[in-house]
Structure 1
Amino acid sequence: MCVAVLTTSHPNYALIVIDNRDEFILRPTSRPHWWSTRVSRSPSKTTSNGQDSNGDRTEGEEVQHVLSARDLQRAEQGTWLGITRSGHFAVLTNYRELEADRLCQPVNGDKSRGALVTAWLGRSTEDSVREFVESMMADGGVQGYGGFSLLCGKLRKRPRRDGEKGDGLEPLAILSNRAQHPDQIPWIAGTRGETIGLSNAAYDDPDEWPKVRNGKSLVDQVVAEAVEKDLSEEELQKKLFWILDQDTLPTSPEWTLEEHLGKLKESIFIPPIGDPKHRDDMARAAADSNANGHSNEQLREKVATLTGTERPDPPTQGFGQGLYGTQRQTIILVDWDGNVTYTERALWDAHGKPLERGTGDLTFKYSIEGWDEIKQV
């Protein structure tokens, strides 16, 4: 039951994003890294979804440089959250399913909803968000996926409007398979003071989940404190990670994973849960890593350097195996000069061993290309 909270309330930042990825802990997943894809300059025509390290351009093409972790369980190597050098941004949450094997990531046999994120991240910079939304909805194009909300947009500074105290952000769209027409798509974050939450329910569901409600409230509290105390970026990040660690999950050691499902909407953070089978999976994974001579320090190094073309050992471990819980935490800060600070915190190594808070952190800093360009959304 993943959760994402965004806010435009901090005066020093155009956008703040926090995200928990809840998943089967042994699911093969890369660490965040830069990868690139060639795209046609003609809308909707991606010529390759493979990685390209040299970044060369050919006539009629451009290269999108993407920063994200990637799901290595599926051939598409999609993602749940990513951002590009040119400011394309997307985050995915799936609607809650009832079965234990349909929690946060796509199920084998379904269209990969992680590919929806990369569809926008790999889109030409010439395309507007609205064009992307319309093309995805054309001819029922999003109806073949399981339930999802895709928050997507092009991060651009919007000049101050009459009556506003400062600049704004170009609005972001929430695409879902429940919308039948582009006019039904919500547009958010276009004004200051907004705080928005997404989890495994429809964005417009009137029965807001406690994890979303609490996440929004805590983000507003932290932003107010950060402004009042003039907290540094590092201090702000610590407070935001504190929010992502809030565990209010009702639980019992006697409950099965199935019995926990209805409770996951209660808590921002999901501690490791599962049946005896899932605990046995974790023990075997840890034993295999020790038998192969990996020390804890070597495992930390491995998880910190994993690239999108590698798989954790053993490659067959993945979806449905091991305990279920919060696997990755991400914070994205975008200031008014278009400077991005992207930090992902891994809570588990590739073999299901817990990592001490902070030892699995990776941080990337860069400036968005075209941040000040004013184009149609």
Structure 2
Amino acid sequence: MCIIFFKFDPRPVSKNAYRLILAANRDEFYNRPSKLADFWGNNNEILSGLDMEEGKAGGTWLGINTRGKLGALTNYLQPQQDPYARGRGELVTHFLTGDMDSLSYLKKVSTEGHLYNGFNLLAADLSTTKGDVVCYYGNRGQPEPVVLAPGCEVRTNSSLCDCPVTQHHYRVVSQTTSERKTSDTGADSLALEAPTEPENLWAKQCPTGDALEEAVLWQTTLHGSGGAERGTP
């Protein structure tokens, strides 16, 4: 399944703490064409992968730009997809290439949500001067976007995160990010634990509807900067 885990704290107690830690898994058919993550757009200000599917080329599922705008998307699992609906990947692309703030953009998207198949969309403005703002809107949930409070969040292919696998990894991410350790060399370390019984936990997970899918893992961290720069993951 598509999963987005993230933890953000716009005013961390420690100056060495990360304001944002994000890990996302994209599930997709192997034969769906896409480009690997790279810089593109005006002055190469956007870092993201790109969908190259005919009719939906140019969309993305996760991206960030040098102005501190970040967008992330998961598709909502539904029995029937509208083949004539607009490509959901454009929702992230339009945010990253535009000038609207995250909340204003999601309010606009909420008026057009019926044009798309189901989705969960995160939009964030990350700024050391104005403060970090992370917002969420899903067109199969509440009618209005919301501003998220600092802390840990998870978004999957549904509006409710009640899947056993999701619950397990939510606990792991929450615990791991709150217990970040520093090695003898001063390098930060962040590791996610594996389930104690992965085969049993996997058997209980919610069905995704796709028999064979590709998993792509991203970890995006912002460490006291106003946005992303070349060489910064």
Q: TM-score, normalised by structure 2?
A: 0.81
Q: Where does structure 2 lack aligned partners over 5 or more consecutive residues? A: none
User: CA RMSD of the aligned region, Å?
Assistant: 3.2
Does residue 1:5 correspond to 2:5, yes or no? yes
Match of 2:33?
28
For 1:213, give the aligned amino acid. Q
Higher relative strand content = 2
Does residue 1:186 correspond to 2:146, yes or no? yes
Match of 1:83?
64
Q: TM-score, normalised by structure 1?
A: 0.52
Distance 1:242 1:158 in 2: 38
Higher relative helix content = 1
Distance 2:206 2:152 in 1: 25
Q: How many residues are paired up?
A: 223
For 2:219, give the aligned amino acid. I
Distance 2:47 2:20 in 1: 17
The CA deviation at 1:117 is 0.7
The CA deviation at 1:220 is 1.8
The CA deviation at 1:142 is 1.5
Write out aligned runs for 1:6-155 (5 A): 6-8=6-8, 11=14, 12-37=17-42, 55=43, 65-75=45-55, 76-98=57-79, 108-124=83-99, 127-137=100-110, 140-155=111-126
Write out aligned runs for 1:208-287 (5 A): 208-227=162-181, 232-233=187-188, 235-236=189-190, 239-240=191-192, 248-250=201-203, 262-264=206-208, 274=211
Regions of 4+ moved over 3 Å: 178-181, 227-231, 240-243, 261-265, 337-341
Write out aligned runs for 1:290-329 (5 A): 324-329=212-217
Distance 2:53 2:115 in 1: 20
8 Å contact from structure 1 (residues 197, 215) kept in 2: no
Bigger Rg, structure 1 or 2: 1
8 Å contact from structure 1 (residues 240, 331) kept in 2: no
Distance 1:228 1:177 in 2: 41
Does residue 1:174 correspond to 2:136, yes or no? yes
Match of 1:355?
none
Q: Where does structure 1 lack aligned partners over 5 or more consecutive residues? A: 38-54, 56-63, 160-168, 252-260, 266-272, 275-323, 342-362, 367-377
For 2:145, give the aligned amino acid. I
Query: Secondary structure at the residue paired with 1:157?
Result: coil
The CA deviation at 1:228 is 7.0
8 Å contact from structure 1 (residues 5, 198) kept in 2: yes
Deviations 1:51-82 (A, max 9, x none): xxxx3xxxxxxxx7211001111343201000
Q: Between the two proteins, what is the percent identity of the paired residues?
A: 23
Match of 1:290?
none
